[in-house]
Amino acid sequence: MYSIISSIIIAILVIALAIIIYMYYREKANVGKYKQGMKAQKEYLQNMSHDIRTPMNAICGFSQILCNKQIRDMLSEEEIAEYGVIIQSNTDLLSNLVNDILDISDMESGKYRLNIGACNVNDVCRKAISTVKYRCPEGVNMYMTSEVDDDYTIESDSRRVEQVIMNFLTNAEKHTEEGEIHVHVSLKENPSMITFSVTDTGEGVPPEKAELIFGRFEKLNTMNGGTGLGLPICRKIATQLGGETKLDLTHQGKGARFIFTHPISTPLTAQPA
């Protein structure tokens, strides 16, 4: 079973790498700067190869252990379950890498679409937390508070709203080793908007990097996994939904606070990404 999963992942990665190369060649052609484009492509592919190798090594290594009957028989049920979680976690990481690349590609080509309907605000936040909480570092408390009732809804694309919050949470998990990650929903912070925020007690972001981190392929710490596309995707989604995303510059020295504002009652019209 695990060898099949590994084969599927390898096939997905080949497709992802092809997309990466295509995106860079297209950017190079549009800008007309061959050398700069080639340099950026080389640097990004080097970083991406690290992001790919790390989870791939974990998946292949633990898969081989679980597929070897002699070794497997020597393991306890707890160890087998732990290795299964490691494989699942790293599989999700690779899937996120591919999804980020596909999303940004769709946005740039105009194929990205919204499905507007009733969006239960608190449910969306809870789903986002439940999806990523298992990757939360031990000792970090992830929780949610809200100023709205459980039946409160807005007109939006629930999946895209959840995606923004998930990306914020995933980012917080990478940079928070102790303390807490707090999701909050507010109607008071910004008039006529509902405000989703994710606050952490991690290393924070220097004020001069507040806009840089929303650029494509930008990562403050190259040792952290990911494509550097999560925050740019959040910004593009927010723009299409008539809102915005930003780093809260008043929350300095105490970690980082990311904000996603969304219209409460204004009729939604998909905006250009």
CA distance 80 to 98: 27
- According to CATH, the topology of domain 117-263 is Heat Shock Protein 90 (3.30.565)
Strand partners, 258: 198, 247
Show the CA angle centred on residue 209, arms to residues 227 and 90, nearest 5°.
25
Q: Name, in order, each residue with C-beta under 8 angstroms of 265's C-beta and a sequence gap of 6 or more.
A: 192
Q: What's the pLDDT tens digit per position in 147-159?
A: 999 999 999 999 8
CA distance 42 to 28: 12
CATH class of 2-109: mainly alpha
Average model confidence (pLDDT) for the chain?
77
Record the pTM.
0.68
Strand segments (E) across 92-225: 117-120, 140-146, 153-156, 179-186, 193-200
- pLDDT for residue 1 is more than 70: no
When pLDDT is cut at 50, 70 and 90, the band that residue 144 belongs to is very high
117-263 and 2-109 share a CATH fold = no
Q: What is the mean pLDDT of residues 22-34?
A: 53
Q: What are phi and psi of 257, to 5 degrees?
A: -130, 115
C-beta separation of 83 from 63 below 8 A:
no
Q: What's the pLDDT tens digit per position in 167-221?
A: 899 889 988 999 999 999 999 999 889 999 999 998 888 777 767 777 655 555 5
* Domain residue limits, the chain: 2-109, 117-263
